[in-house]
Amino acid sequence: MELKELTTKILGKNVIYYESIDSTQLEILRKIDNIQNGTIIIADIQTNGIGTHGRKWHTTEKNNIAFSFIIYANCNIEKLEGITKEIAETMVIAIKNLYNISLHIKEPNDIVYNNKKIGGILTQNKLNGKKVKYMVVGIGLNTMQTTFSKDIENIATSIKKEFNINVDRTKIITQFCNLFEKKMIERRIL
């Protein structure tokens, strides 16, 4: 999978794609000793995706968004304050720019529409004292899924289900990377 129109220097320059994997987040952590700064791991299907508080993130159909990336931040932990919300805001802006769809954030890490969850952000930091060694971010977004399991059908939705449009996940991920790297540079994290 190629992210065309990428204007970043680091984020998304190296992409690893899987048709199916247990978790993009876990895969980055498994490769932690041999993975480049800004690497993105994308999967069509996650069989054991990780959500916050140990919950599962369901990615059962192709063309939804399931990806994780790593940033070797090398900064004090204080610089990352509010980063999860900023990641969610960046994704909301990317979708608005591309498709003129207004999604909302349920702080700190859920992307919602009509009080139903469309996406979520998982941020995990590895610290060395107060210094951040690296930050691994997982983003899941229901773009094309139209049916959900009984346990989440009343609380989850997708862009396709709500707006009846087909979105291009590579364009969304590219737009997100372009916007988010700028924010990371402004924060002096990259």
pLDDT at 81 exceeding the cut of 90: yes
Residue 6 maps to a domain: no
pTM: 0.93
Residue 135 maps to a domain: yes
Residue 153 maps to a domain: yes
Q: Can you give the pLDDT at residue 1?
A: 79
Residue 3 maps to a domain: no
Q: Can you give the pLDDT at residue 55?
A: 56
Residue 8 maps to a domain: no
Residue 143 maps to a domain: yes
The residue among 42 and 60 whose pLDDT is bigger is 42
User: How high does pLDDT run on average in the chain?
Assistant: 91
Strands (E), 28-187: 40-50, 56-59, 65-71, 75-76, 104-106, 110-113, 116-128, 131-141
- Contact assessment for residue 71 and residue 189, using Cβ atoms and an 8 Å cutoff: yes
Please give the C-alpha separations between residue 178 and each of 48, 117, 147, in angstroms, as whole numbers: 28, 24, 31
Domain that holds residue 69: 15-186
Q: How many domains in the chain? A: 1
Q: Can you give the pLDDT at residue 112?
A: 97
Q: Can you give the pLDDT at residue 143?
A: 93
The residue among 62 and 143 whose pLDDT is bigger is 143
Mean pLDDT, residues 162-188: 95
pLDDT at 37 exceeding the cut of 80: yes
Q: Can you give the pLDDT at residue 46?
A: 86
Residue 30 maps to a domain: yes
pLDDT at 135 exceeding the cut of 80: yes
User: What is the CATH number for 110?
Assistant: 3.30.930.10
**Helix residue ranges, H only, the chain:** 24-30, 83-99, 159-163, 169-186
Q: Residue type for 113, please?
A: Y
Give the pLDDT band (50/70/90) at residue 140. Answer: very high
Positive or negative torsion for Cα 163, 164, 169, 172: negative
Residue 10 maps to a domain: no
